């Protein structure tokens, strides 16, 4: 097993993604925990969730200081609906995911990540504004669609073992009509709830990380993530939206490669 110093070093770039774009970075952390630190898949998932929660909370806190959260105001109902759907999937969706997680579904997720990534890169380079509010106007059907979208994202996140920001941000941008910066902040808030719910489930199952793993890996990697999140939030405040879309698109393409190799 590698040491705390390396764990902290790996935490910095993942935290940077959180502060800059609004991701927990779990899909990039999992291969590191598996291959560099020699953990088993059963050990990785709850440990990754603990570090993800630290990264998400730190990223949202730093972004709240460097970016205004006021643009989220008109979208609070939509954010709540997505959160409710994701929460339901995190608490009750594990059995369903186990039945769905065959090879073809995994391939479909990879294709989805690639497609969304290319779309974001194209829009960021071209300077287009493909932000469409595709949801019905009445409150009840709009909430129902939002809950369904949140549940679907939550199921995919459970399958991949991540917080789901890779799909939450494009959903908020392309379907709910948010700009990419507030979408990243909203994604962090939603992901915090989903990951916290997952940790509650792990606690009930007695699967939380043991103290030695928490001290040797989670604590230093979480500390590195906090430092990266602080830097990312500063960069997010000055980075053009088009640049962030291209960056997110590249991250999705990288996530697709990582997912295809798992």
Q: How confident is the model at residue 136 (pLDDT cuts 50, 70, 90)?
A: low
Report the pLDDT value the prediction gives residue 12, as an integer from 0 to 100. 93
**Distance between CA atoms of residues 205 and 208, nearest Å:** 8
Question: Could you tell me which residue, 175 or 135, shows the higher pLDDT?
Answer: 175
Q: What 8-state DSSP symbol labels residue 137? A: S
Percentage of the chain modeled with pLDDT above 90 = 23
Q: Classify residue 65 as exposed, middle or buried by CB count within 10 Å of its CB (0-12, 13-18, 19+).
A: exposed
**Which sequence spans correspond to the domains of the chain?**
4-261
pLDDT at 35 over 90: no
Residue 225 contacts residue 18 (beta carbons within 8 Å): yes
Once rounded to an integer, what is the mean pLDDT over residues 22-51?
A: 82
Q: Is the confidence at residue 67, as pLDDT, over 50?
A: yes
DSSP string covering 29-79: HHHIIIIIS---HHHHHHHHHHHHHHHHHHHHHHHHHHS--GGGGGGHHHH
Q: Which residue has the tokens 């609070």?
A: 76
What is the average per-residue pLDDT within 52-74?
91
Confidence of residue 126 (pLDDT cuts 50, 70, 90): low
Q: Which two tokens stand for residue 44?
A: 């990785």
List, for residues 235-261, the tens digit of each pLDDT value: 988 888 888 888 888 887 887 776 666
b/e 138-156 (16+ beta carbons within 10 angstroms → b): eeeebbebbbebbbbbbbb
For the segment 175-230, what is each residue's pLDDT rounded down to a tens digit?
888 888 999 999 999 999 888 888 888 888 787 888 888 888 999 999 999 999 99
pLDDT class for 103, splitting at 50, 70, 90?
low
Using alpha carbons, select from 54, 2, 48, 69 the residue that is nearest to residue 228.
Answer: 54
Tokens 């909430």, residue?
A: 143
Give me the mean pLDDT over the 58-71 stretch.
90
**SS3 call for 93:** coil
Mean pLDDT along residues 90-117: 63
Q: Which two tokens stand for residue 196?
A: 């916290």
pLDDT, average across residues 73-100:
78
Tokens of 236: 């997010």
Supply the pTM of this predicted model: 0.84
Pair of tokens at residue 120: 């974001």
Cα four-point dihedral sign 109, 137, 186, 246: positive
Average pLDDT, the chain: 81
Residue 146: pLDDT over 70: yes
Spatial CB neighbours of 240, under 8 Å, sequence gap ≥ 6: none
Average pLDDT over residues 54-80: 91
More confident residue, 204 or 1: 204
Rounded Cα distance between 169 and 181, Å, is 9
Name every residue whose Cβ is closer than 8 Å to that of residue 40 and which is 6 or more positions away in sequence.
none
- Mean pLDDT score, 33-51: 83
**pLDDT score for 97:** 47
Q: CB within 8 A of 166, min separation 6: which ones?
A: 23, 27, 113, 116, 251, 252, 255
Q: What is the DSSP letter of 58?
A: H
């Amino acid at each position: 097993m590698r040491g705390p110093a390396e764990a902290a070093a790996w935490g910095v770039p993942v935290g940077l993604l959180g502060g800059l774009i609004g991701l927990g970075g779990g899909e990039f952390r999992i291969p590191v925990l598996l291959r560099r630190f020699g953990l088993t898949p059963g050990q990785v998932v709850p440990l990754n969730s603990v570090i993800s929660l630290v990264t998400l909370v730190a990223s949202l806190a730093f972004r709240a200081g460097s970016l205004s959260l006021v643009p989220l105001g008109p979208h609070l109902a939509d954010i709540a609906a997505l959160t409710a759907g994701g929460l339901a999937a995190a608490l009750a969706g594990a059995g369903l995911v186990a039945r769905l997680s065959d090879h073809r579904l995994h391939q479909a997720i990879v294709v989805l990540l690639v497609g969304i990534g290319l779309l974001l890169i194209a829009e960021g380079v071209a300077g287009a504004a493909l932000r469409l509010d595709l949801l019905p106007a009445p409150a009840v059907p709009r909430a129902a669609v939002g809950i369904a979208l949140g549940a679907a994202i939550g199921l995919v996140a459970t399958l991949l073992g991540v917080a789901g920001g890779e799909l939450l941000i494009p959903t908020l941008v392309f379907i709910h009509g948010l700009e990419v910066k507030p979408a990243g902040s909203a994604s962090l808030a939603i992901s915090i709830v989903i990951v916290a719910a997952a940790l509650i489930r792990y606690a009930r199952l007695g699967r939380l990380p043991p103290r030695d793993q928490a001290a040797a890996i989670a604590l230093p990697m979480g500390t590195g993530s906090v430092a990266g999140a602080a830097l990312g939030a500063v960069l997010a405040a000055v980075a053009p939206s088009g640049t962030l879309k291209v960056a997110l698109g590249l991250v999705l393409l990288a996530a697709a490669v990582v997912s295809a190799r798992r």
